[in-house]
Amino acid sequence: MSTHGSLDPHAVLTVVDRRIFGGFVEHLGRHIYDGIHEPGHPSAGPDGFRRDVVDLVRELGVSTIRYPGGNFVSGYRWEDGVGPREERPRRLDLAWHSTETNEVGLHEFSDWLELVGSDLMLAVNLGTRGTQEALDLLEYANLDADTAWTRKRAEHGRPEPLGVRMWCLGNEMDGPWQLGHRNADDYGKLASRTAKAMRMMQPDLELVVCGSSGSGMPTFGSWERTVLEHTFEDVDFISCHSYYQERGGDAQEFLASGVDMARFIESVVAIADSVAATKRSDKRIMISFDEWNVWYLFDENGEQDDKPEEAGWPVAPRLLEDRYHALDAVVFGDLLITLLQHSDRVRSASLAQLVNVIAPIMTEPGGPAWRQTTFFPFSITSRLTGEQIVRVPLDGATVTSSRFGEIPAVNAVATVGEQGTSVFVVNRSVDEAATLRLDVSALIAEFGRDPRIVESHLLHDDDMYAANTLDDPERVGVGPLEDAVIRDGILEVPLPAVSWAALLLA
């Protein structure tokens, strides 16, 4: 089957905000302890952080990392994670039925971010705490003044402010599972009060208000409208969260996940702009898609699998350690394409999560770290994305989704920048190969010569359920697109069924 399109370097959608390649680290399972932090590991530095993991996170190319949760944050006392380690209390984490040792807190995590080259995005607890505690954390983290909190920061080894610019006003407050869950009216009022207070301390913050924790929530839509009616003047972003998994062995429906994400984004944008219209405002609320991934949360019986197997309150139990296969990586790559296609309004996104917990990177205590299949689309897209997003209109073959009807079999987006023109493309068909024929004559006219393919990557496996494991960590990888060519002004990209690809033209 064939899909045709064109690539015009002047059809610019937006300038890239690198925060779209953000990540997410939560105190959950083995993400921090035995993941990024394992003092006894052969690769660990004197700070206890595994340098093999640091290298992989740097290779992944994450820009901003959201911390410390997630559900965890709604019961978190940030003060527990600062000061001398030997004096830090052990606490119960009700979100994940675990024990938090607080060995890693704000300072240690900030040090780790310097190692991996990422910026900090902080979430405040609006579940069991409120405005005053958020102000205390902001003062401790960001203020350049002589106060009790800034003196404590200096005593704890950080005289200079952390300079955290982006802050989340709680997490998934629409969810009944969330500590301190509130209805939209009550949460909107609290978020507005907290945002106003934080801006009195530091006016130039970028603030994210909680949207729905998924488009399937019964209050989706009405939640966004009510919350924004309270907070419209106070915040810059509203959050979206969405996770996808194959259900009932229906791989074709799973491959339509990008369509669901696109409709979710477009619905939230429409609601936000409707609120702007009623307020007669030209302000545009942006989206922070600060939780997205493939996550096998529900088992075959539709039950959630999100509690530790160990009895009691274990420390760093094995939780949510999904093993990703080639099919997952193709869907994942399509989700990234979808985020880029909507990056005029999605100005920040956080892959949830990074290490061990529904993660592109896995580790074994005392052993190796390795790349899961989803690592490759993220690292390659992050590295090859240029400074501007370019629309790639396509026309061609379709596949059938039981939810969405006929959808494009091929989805693509492009970017232009100093290194060249990058094209990211996916074949959503579960059983048919496709060929993308992209007219690049506008590139020839722009630069006065034929472009050439200087780099190409294909993620595909004849066994779409093949995965990288501890025993076989390199079973699935990426290879070159051997048969991609530019001929008579047309870029031809052959795509096997269930495949993701990236090309750099220069």
- Annotated catalytic residue within 79, 100, 139, 172: 172
| CA–centroid distance for 268 within its chain | 17
CB-CB contact of 254 with 331 (8 Å)? yes
CA-based nearest residue to 277, from 331, 229, 236, 319: 229
Pair 478, 459: CB distance under 8 Å:
yes
Element (H or E) spanning 329, and its range? helix 326-341
Residue 291 designated active-site: yes
Q: Where are the beta strands (DSSP E) in 201-236?
A: 206-209
Query: From CA 138, how far away is CA 333, in angstroms rounded?
Result: 36
DSSP 32: T
161, 206 contact by CB (below 8 A): no
Number of other CB atoms surrounding residue 403 within 10 Å: 10
Which amino acid would we find at residue 171?
A: N
Strand partners, 304: 298
Provide the residue type at 468 as one letter: N
- Look at residue 468 and give its three-state secondary structure: coil
Q: What's the token pair of residue 302?
A: 């539709």
Tell me whether strands 98-100 and 91-93 are parallel, antiparallel or unpaired: antiparallel
Burial 31-62 (b: 16+ CB within 10 A, else e): bbbbbbbbeebeebeeebbbebbbebbebbbb
Q: Are 63 and 119 in contact (CB under 8 A)?
A: yes
CB within 8 A of 209, min separation 6: which ones?
Answer: 169, 188, 191, 195, 227, 228, 231, 234, 235, 237, 238, 239
Distance from C-alpha of 230 to C-alpha of 225, rounded to nearest angstrom: 9
57 closest CA partner among 396, 422, 362: 362
Are 212 and 184 in contact by the 8 Å Cβ rule? The answer is: no
* Phi, psi (deg, nearest 5) at residue 501: -145, 155
CB atoms within 10 A of CB 370: 18
- With tokens 């340098």, the residue in question is 51
Token duo for residue 469: 């494991």
CA dihedral in degrees (245, 250, 254, 259; nearest 10)?
-140
Q: Find, among 23, 115, 26, 29, the residue nearest to 60 by Cα.
A: 23
Q: Which of 38, 224, 253, 291 is catalytic?
A: 291
Q: Quote the tokens at residue 346.
A: 């999605």
206 CB neighbour count, 10 Å cutoff: 17
User: Any catalytic annotation for residue 172?
Assistant: yes
Query: Looking at the annotation, which residues are catalytic?
Result: 172, 291
